[in-house]
Chains A and B, each alone.
Chain A
Amino acid sequence: MSTAMEAMFAGRIHQDGHALRRTTLRHTNLTDPALGICLWRLGGERFRAAAVAWGPIGGPYKLAVAGEPRNRDLYFSALLPFAADLCKRIRRVAATQVARQRGRHTDYLPADALQIVVPNRTTVAALGLLGRYLAYLSDRGGVAPDPALVEAGKHLRFYARHARVPGQALLVPLDRLLAEHWATLLSPFEQANLAAVDAQIDPPRGVHAFDSGFAAEASARIGPEPTEDIDRITDELLARFNEARGGATEPATIGPLIAPIEAHYRRLVDPVWALMARVVDRERALPAAPSVPRRFEVDREAFGRRVDWVTGGGRYRTTDTPRQAAMTLRRLEEPLARYEAEKAIEDPAAMVPYLLDGEAVRGVVASLNDQYRVRFRVKAVRRAIIALDTDDPVILPLGKKLWWTATAHDHHWEVQDVTANGAGSRITLMLYAAPTPARLPGVGDRITFSVLHTSSDGYRLPPPQNPPWTHTSAAPPAPPEPIDAGDGDPPAAAVDGATLPDPGVYA
């Protein structure tokens, strides 16, 4: 993040009274329609969804409300329609495949992938926890949970883990989408409130972004974490519900009793659902960057592979092995560098921070010599030298490696000299490869060089399957308890300060 750019944005937003776009292109794929999911939890119950709303973005949603989510029977019965619908949608999308030719190798991958859109990153984490809970459910009293719940859990777990891939678009948290595309006056913490971000982007007429964002943050509830006022209402409704049902879990008894809780959650979901549709519509109107389809192809490939595995009965470990973690770390780092590079190379607005920070230079090619010869080891080789005239003075150390944005996938250039040139600078750069027409700009072209490139670090062999002794515990850990252990236990008594001895009290 460029300090200079952020300072400029803060000043301009303050002056103009509304948020500003950071980009001229959309760098995330948005399918039409994506599946929206909006989740609410009970305070302090991280693994339980008290209410799940789902449906096509911009369309009507369905709502699953358990009433008492801490009761396993009620919880599973409420979640089942959501789980079954999710599995059906995923299987349906994955069923249509297209051939992809790579050299002489042909493989098949889904023509599309089910994109899930959620309001914020907290919901991504909540879906991951819900997925983790459902994916590893154990039998209870010889009764296995519905397979759709377990399958949906596996899918959700995959989606939440894939959300770590830089530039992915399978699971899109809208707060991150907006933070990447818009500059606001909100801190990273405040940006988690989608309504506050939206209010700064599109404030009511005559209202400054700061004031509209402040008002939205104070009033809008996005979830999945309930605020105290919501939890108080929920608590009262749950108490009445539990008293009325008297321990019953049959749908015939529960159905009429659950309506007040459903209505409570509809009041919470309605504004969020409308907000999500508005945000997606606005971002979809922006043209997609050229690299968006490539990144979504990577998503589709991952989606297809995981759906095959899950529907084939495949299982996943609850935690990574050291080998998996090591491989995942490397697999995530390379896409991150490439995503950042693609964004800036394709989008002039995204290149500005690099220009301000001296990580990129823009200028006119004043001369080109493609017959320059340098001695490399023992023989002289042909290289190209260009002089680039910039409008502003630049400070670049000699020997700095830069890539021309038009050949960012190819070889680098190196700074040979920087001299004052009128109000700007003249930079001499040498191409570190044989000069070919595709690698050379024309004299008079206005071009950009930057430290960003999209070339791969090269193929790395996977680590050995067997871990070394250093990464293996001398004493193997005890097997974990089932993830749903204790589900049938009565809830722990509430902690009441009046009943607890105070160790710090004066004798």
Chain B
Amino acid sequence: MTARVAPSPYDAAVLAAAQAVEDAIRADLFARIGRQAAVVAAAPAGAGKSQLVSETAGLLRQRDLRVAVTAPTNEQAYSLVGRLIRLNPGLAVSFVHAQGRDLPPALAALPGVSQPSAAAAQAQGDPLVVATVDKLTDAYLRDGLGAFDVLILDEAFQADAARYYTAAHVAATHLLVGDAGQLDPFSPLPDATFWRGGPEDPLQTAVGVVLRNHPTTPVHRLPITRRLDPRAVPVARCFYPGHHFDSAITAGVREIRLTRPGPGSRALAPIDRALDEAAASGWAHVLLPGAPVLTADPTSAELIRDLLLRLFARQARVRCEDRPNPTDLRLSEVAVGVSHNDQKDLLRALLDDAGLGGVAVDTANRLQGLTYEVVIAWHPLAGSTVTDAFHLDPGRLCVLLTRHRQACIVVGRDTDQTLLDGVPPATPGFLGWDPDPVLDGWDAHEGVFRLLDPHVVHA
């Protein structure tokens, strides 16, 4: 008698296609070592960029090459340190940080991790240094930290050309890895488009400046998302026109189980319907009655709190490729994504009061690169009366709708979609700069509304 072999939760064809692209990226990179050249790896949300970065860094170290790994934010850099150690046990990783930005204790305690000063890292010739782009820049200028063989820049579509300018000096050969669908570099200046279209534009992405000056730089597109399951992929594709990708996971592998609502829950029926819809299809679009409201609308915030309370009251359990047996959903596996800081503050206070302190609440730009089982997204256009570049930004919506592994519940108002009725606004054009955040965002929002239509639940 032979034992039954469980079917693989992974799509072998998708994995093979992704592996082929990763191999091509590394082959191109290794062929350029020692030259002033770059390789670009563009990935959709959740493609496993950090894994690519960490594995590539390990392979470069096996060749005894000196490597600098960098990312725009501290959280991204922390995550890279953890991933580097997990995928390359025994590797020595030097984390160079700004004052008060030490690694969290759990990461600092990992074998092989050290936190030298920039001067010490340079004096010792530390072979693998991780730092934020700003810290790497400062360390290069103050302490001469540099002369690496390879610079790996993670989240390279988030890093602006101004910051990259100095960091680019630390090595001749660069690997730029990033997600073109996420938020572009941003400045609070009212005329931040002053240089747009010019080669000197400091707010173009690191990838943008390299491709503009060196158009023959190879660009590889990873055809995979490991975070999103097949139900989430059609929505995610709205943000990556021309970039085809599929889920690494086969349908039905991931599942949320909720207890039945039970007697006496009629008052919570809309919330239960939303949770059931999200559990069944991976999406729910919960709509409050249309009204022009303040950015930090208390009604929307209370609805989000109630959705979360009910999610945990119904003892949500999750199953996936890593957890074949359903286990309880933890608070730390859930996040709420918003567009404004006042929304974040309001929700943080409400959730803390409700005993949901472990649920992450943050703005889209700070959620970039992070993964949760369940995400509640406060729609950027919720209750708005106007469509502007900030709220239409496709990158913001992309981040909010692509952080989840299991389900995403979008909260808005039933008049939001009507904002896109009619003709899109006139937008300025810039010679030498093709993207148009407003019109691209208009298209992406229309596509997303259409795809979410079958999942609408009226609150």
Contact = CB atoms under 8 A, between A and B. Distances in A.
B200 A473 contact: no
B342 interface: yes
Interface in B298-355: 341-342, 344-346, 348-350, 352
Interface stretch (A53-61, A238-246, A315-323, A383-391): A315-323
A322 B202 contact: yes
A334 B303 CA distance: 38
Interface stretch (A228-236, A396-404, A496-504): A396-404
Contact of A357 (B38, B195, B342): B342
B189 A329 contact: yes
Given A326-B161, A463-B165, A357 B200 contact: no
B205 to A, nearest CB: 12
Contacts, number: 113
B189 A396 contact: no
B15 interface: no
Contacts of B174: 470
Main secondary structure of the interface of A (DSSP, over half): loop
A164 B194 contact: yes
Interface residues of B, number: 48
Given A320-B200, A358-B342, A395-B345, A470 B296 contact: no
Contacts of B203: 329
Given A326-B161, A329-B189, A461-B141, A470 B198 contact: no
Contacts of B162: 325-326, 329-330
A461 B145 CA distance: 14
B165 A358 contact: no
Contact of B161 (A330, A333, A464, A471): A471
Contacts of B348: 397-398
A326 B214 contact: no
Interface in B204-241: 206, 209-210, 212-216
B263 to A, nearest CB: 33
A474 B211 CA distance: 10
Contacts of A396: 345, 349
Given A333-B188, A400-B345, A357 B165 contact: no
Interface in A58-116: none
Contacts of A506: none
Contacts of A322: 161, 165, 199-200, 202, 209
Contact of A469 (B36, B141, B202, B215): B36
B184 to A, nearest CB: 14
Most central of A166, A329, A333 by chain B CB within 10 Å = A329
B393 to A, nearest CB: 17
Contact of A467 (B165, B191, B214): B165
A286 interface: no
Interface of B: 36, 38, 137-138, 141-142, 161-166, 168-169, 172, 174, 187-189, 191, 194-195, 198-203, 206, 209-210, 212-216, 294-296, 341-342, 344-346, 348-350, 352
Interface of A: 3-4, 164, 166, 319-326, 328-330, 332-333, 336-337, 357-359, 395-398, 400, 418, 460-461, 463-464, 467-474
18 contacts: A4-B294, A164-B189, A166-B189, A321-B200, A324-B200, A325-B202, A329-B187, A357-B295, A358-B346, A396-B345, A397-B345, A461-B141, A464-B166, A467-B165, A469-B214, A471-B164, A474-B214, A474-B216
**What are the 5 A-B residue pairs with the smallest beta carbon separation, nearest first?**
A397-B348, A326-B162, A468-B168, A469-B36, A461-B141
